[in-house]
Amino acid sequence: MFAQIKKLLLISTVIFFSSMCLADNPKVSFETSMGNITLELFAEESPVTVKNFLQYIDEDFYIDTQFHRVISGFMVQGGGFTKQMSKKQNHEPIINESANGLSNKRGTIAMARTQAPDSATSQFFINLVDNLSLNQVGNRAGYTVFGEVTEGMDIVDSMAKTKTGMSSGHRDVPIEPILILSAKRL
């Protein structure tokens, strides 16, 4: 009887830990004014960044923000400004996780930041091309990749074709705002 309980306990433990290892990465959907984008987030490689991003998702922070910086052949950036180019109040900056082994390749999503490595808050960008110069090199911090577009890269490519200009002292702002209408976990 004891051997059967021990065997059952061992099998239960193996199943539990196997399911944890095989758990799906979190997925997020953005409904934008140009169409829908689905992201898969890499929680194992970028745990702090993914937790931060999901906190903003859960708080509905991204709703009615815009992709405020669009540079064809480079990236589209969003997550910090309203349609009127008012900066939203965000949480404290997070640590830079660019040493996670992930690369700023086409279709990946990464955290935007200032020159200070540990300055990322709510803003993110989607790489339109392989931007390997944004990766960590030696002791120089890069831009933390924390996920990738799994559906809707055609929408992101369409964003890259929009006409841009100056707005509120910012360059590369779409003339016709590209808004995030909803953002949710899947």
List the domain range (segments joined by +) for residue 94: 24-185
In a domain, 173, yes or no: yes
- Asked if 87 and 78 touch (Cβ cutoff 8 Å), the reply is no
On whether residue 14 sits in a domain, the answer given is no
pLDDT value at residue 6: 47
Of 74, 37, 62, 68, the closest CA to residue 177 belongs to: 68
CA distance 67 to 35: 13
Q: What is the pLDDT at residue 24?
A: 87
Write the pLDDT tens digit of every residue in 89-148.
999 999 999 999 999 999 999 999 999 999 999 999 999 999 999 999 999 999 999 999
Q: Is the pLDDT of residue 87 over 80?
A: yes
Bridge-based pairing state of the strands 145-151 and 108-111: antiparallel
The span from the CA of 47 to the CA of 96, in Å, is: 11
Looking up residue 30, the CATH number of its domain turns out to be 2.40.100.10
- Domains: count for the chain: 1
Rounded Cα–Cα distance for residues 159 and 134 (Å): 21
Amino acid at 101: G
Q: Please state the pTM of the whole predicted model.
A: 0.88
Structural domain contains residue 4: no
Segment among 6-15, 80-89, 148-157 with least mean pLDDT = 6-15
DSSP 8-state secondary structure symbol assigned to residue 176: S
Whether 39 is covered by a domain: the verdict is yes
Quote the percentage of the chain above a pLDDT of 90: 87
What's the pLDDT at 1? 53
The span from the CA of 150 to the CA of 55, in Å, is: 21
